[in-house]
Structure 1
Amino acid sequence: MEIPALDLTQTRCPMALLLAKRECRELASGQSLEIRICDAGARQDIPRYLLNQGYDVLVQTDNSRLFVITVTKRL
């Protein structure tokens, strides 16, 4: 099963954080979402917020500018 993706590479914080929060609220337990970002502020704010809200978060980088955050809603 392919993980749905949210492309926020053209969006800066705080809008990137608001859009990520909205999408993550729609996840069912155990469901994952891949968020792609480039903004340094979003790179710090999104994982911190989601961890505080009880999501599992994995941050990876494809290169020096693109970050991929895989978010999974805990059961």
Structure 2
Amino acid sequence: MDFIDLTPFRCPLALVKVKLALKALQEGEELCISLSDTGSRQDVPRFLKKVGYDFSELTNDEDILTLKIRRLG
């Protein structure tokens, strides 16, 4: 599983970086990302739901949201 720390980035750059990383994922592979920007914390999960990625929250506190994303077939 790859990990990308996106906490230094604000939306929309964080979302763009997630989209690029997802393009490289093969079926069944997982990606872990961390977000801190308020906009990114809302937009990234919304995007993942919209395009049908399987994801879960590993942490979600006042500072950081960490997601584990899995590419389905």
TM-score (norm 2): 0.91
Q: Distance in 2 between matches of 1:17 and 1:46?
A: 6
2:26 alignment counterpart = 28
Q: For structure 1, list consecutive stretches of 5 or more residues without a partner in the other structure.
A: none
Q: Deviations over 1:3-59 (max 9, x none)?
A: 210110100000000000000111001100000110111011001111211110112
Amino acid at match of 2:40: A
Matched, 1:60 2:58: yes
Deviates more, 1:55-64 or 1:43-52: 55-64
Q: Distance in 1 between matches of 2:28 and 2:67?
A: 16
1:4 alignment counterpart = 2
Question: How many residues are aligned here?
Answer: 73
TM-score (norm 1): 0.89
Q: For structure 2, list consecutive stretches of 5 or more residues without a partner in the other structure.
A: none
